[in-house]
Amino acid sequence: MAQKEPKRWITVKGNHIPIYEGESQADIQERINDMTGSHDKQDNDKIDEDTFKEHAEEYVGGGVDVDKAFDKQELEFIKDNMKTTDKPLYRVEDSKYTADKLDIDDLDADDFKFNGSFRSFSSDMDFISSAMDENSDNYAGIENPVIFEITGSKKHFDMEPYTQEYSKQFGSQSESLVGGNFELVGEDMKKINGTFVRILKIRQKG
């Protein structure tokens, strides 16, 4: 059987790594580990930055789940390198994914989590508004938008240093990754693009 031709190549620590059609990030990382002898590497502060940036650019471009965009070591790197901030962070999503499952009338209800290891939030409310504007390049096609606003102190991973090429071409999303448990602390309404949208105020726990 003829050997499959690589779709493209990447270079990691001087090693030319073939990438084949249909491979997952886990498949690619396994080959990188094989070719660089990194199977036993446990230091999450020493990921390959070029590869991480490539995965980050792919993720912010949209359509890729965070747990598929990044391999296990990179997810640990994100978790271990979060910083504390007091600035508000916002996320817009269709209400069916998270908001409809919350008991808005009971602020003492159990903690909740978003799907996946982390979820994207932005510090730029204008970007969030553009994601709900059908005339915007950032329109996300959300039918029943709800905005989550994380209040108070929270830990986040700033994606900006790793997605500068994307920002140059398409503009900055002021994006952060946030994970963990949350609690609902309030609800508000705001008129955005001529429509009133629910704002669910949440707080990161722990």
Residue 1 scores a pLDDT above 50: no
122: nearest Cα among 70, 82, 76, 87: 87
178: nearest Cα among 107, 85, 100: 85
| Higher pLDDT, residue 104 or 87 | 87
List, for residues 148-172, the tens digit of each pLDDT value: 999 999 999 999 999 999 899 888 8
Torsion of CA 36, 39, 40, 44, to 10 degrees: 80
Strands (E), 115-180: 119-122, 145-151, 154-158, 175-178
Mean pLDDT of 173-194: 94
Amino acid at 14: G
Rounded to whole angstroms, the Cα distance separating 1 from 10 reads 25
Rounded to whole angstroms, the Cα distance separating 71 from 89 reads 25
Which DSSP symbol is given to 112? B
- Helix, strand, coil % over all residues of the chain, rounded to 5: 25, 30, 40
Rounded to whole angstroms, the Cα distance separating 120 from 87 reads 15
pTM, rounded to two decimals: 0.75
Rounded to whole angstroms, the Cα distance separating 48 from 129 reads 34
Sequence spans of domains, the chain: 15-79, 82-205
Q: pLDDT band at residue 108, thresholds of 50, 70 and 90? A: low
pLDDT at res. 187: 92
Class of domain 82-205: alpha beta
Q: pLDDT band at residue 8, thresholds of 50, 70 and 90? A: confident
